[in-house]
Amino acid sequence: MSVWLENAIARANSTSDWLSPIRSVSLAALKDTPWPTRKTEAWRYTSLKSLERATLSPSPSVNQDTPEQIDGFESFNLVFRNGEFDLDSLTQPLPAGLMISYLPTASEEMKQASLDEFSQIKPGRHLFGLINDVLAQHVVRIEVAEGVSISQAIRITSLIGLNSESHTRVFVKLNKGASLTVSEHYQGNVESLNTGFVEYDICAEAKLEHYRFALQTDKAISLGGCHFKLGERADLNSTLVGFGSDLSRVDTDIIYDGEFATAKLNAFYLLDGKELFDLHATVEHAVPNCTTLENVRGIVADRAKAVFNGRIHIHRHAQKTLAELNNRNLLLSDKAEINTKPELEIYADDVRCAHGATVAEIDKHALYYLESRGISRSKAQVMLNFGFINELIDQMPNQVLAEWIRPQIRNRFAEMEVTR
């Protein structure tokens, strides 16, 4: 066990509040969970040494940062600063059918109901999910009433400052026939630690449009996850965008709990320098007649490293399943590294499934062609890189967010030099 984790457990043992019943269960599980090493399969390519070396404070100075403005994006803004929830977020008027609760100040009845929901979707195998269980104090619950469609999005922003620890937790419930857009944003590039976990309960016939922008860079350490449970005929459309940092990992889980549900997951990551980005995605097809479409792309430059593990598990009774998983990667340097492991684990016999992974480099003939037409080499590289990713940006349902992320992607491409 690491020194940092020992200190975290000691802090959790000294905390007593409404979450104590959950905290005690997760603490017991943590004590029986070994600290990951290179021999731990789920962490084989991702080292935690940067966390062990980091100088962090559970009580950092006040963070006065503000969320980045997104012109034209209509949203209810929920803000965490260094892990503490900004209560001013709750002063905005909400439409009928939308309820947002800050659980530490909620009624005892609400707290008790939330205890029954807490960590019921996020699998217990996630080490930093357990750590979030025991360290999270500022918990927010979002619920949309049955049959209600909320036109404005919910934007959840985590602002993480120097040497700070941020352990945020959000639970989102869409009742039958409800619809909602949620956009998660993680900002900060200084030495810090963020474990941001969100659980989504998408009930029958409900629809969730989801985004996670894991845009922390440089010295930031980000270890979080988003976890979804889909009821009958539920629909999920999720987009994940990741930049690398000293240590960045996202765990995502999709669990089918009702028939005829559909999930589409698009993800792309852009890495440079010595950055690391690790995406572990697991899909549990536990019932028949469901569909998963998963498309993941990565571009890795310099000495950066990407890790992707995509597992689709089709249970014995999950007949008539359609599942497709595709991972495509582009290496811009001889020293860049990509470790990809797409998996299909199938126990049903009446299914349609496919998976694949490719690792390639920029087409030198295409690069030469553009240069021969008077386009500079650096601009030609940006154009080819952007073309590799742009298909997934075009598929984002919210075009305002698509237009907001495009220039950030271009700027990042401009900094990524092709050396092979």
Edge-first strand listing for the sheet containing 235-243:
84-85, 75-81, 153-159, 179-187, 207-214, 235-243, 262-271, 291-300, 322-331, 352-361
- Domains of the chain, residue spans: 3-415
Residues of the chain whose pLDDT is less than 70? 1, 58-64, 363-371, 373-386, 417-420
Instruction: Say if residues 300 and 268 touch (Cβ distance below 8 Å).
Output: no
Q: What is the pTM of this model?
A: 0.94
Q: What's residue 264's pLDDT? A: 98
Sign, Cα dihedral of 129, 46, 277, 193: positive
Instruction: Give the separation between CA 62 and CA 88, rounded to whole angstroms.
Output: 15
* Exposure string over 244-268, b if 16+ CB within 10 A, otherwise e: bbbbbbbbbbbbbbbbbbbbbbbbb
pLDDT tens-digit map of 25-73:
999 998 888 899 989 999 999 999 999 888 887 665 666 678 889 999 9
Q: What's residue 308's pLDDT? A: 97
Beta bridge partners of 171: 141, 199
CB atoms within 10 A of CB 197: 25
DSSP assignment, residue 378?
Answer: H
Instruction: Give the separation between CA 55 and CA 192, rounded to whole angstroms.
Output: 8
Give the tokens for residue 222.
């980000």
Q: What's residue 53's pLDDT? A: 86
Q: What's residue 182's pLDDT? A: 98
Q: What's residue 62's pLDDT? A: 64
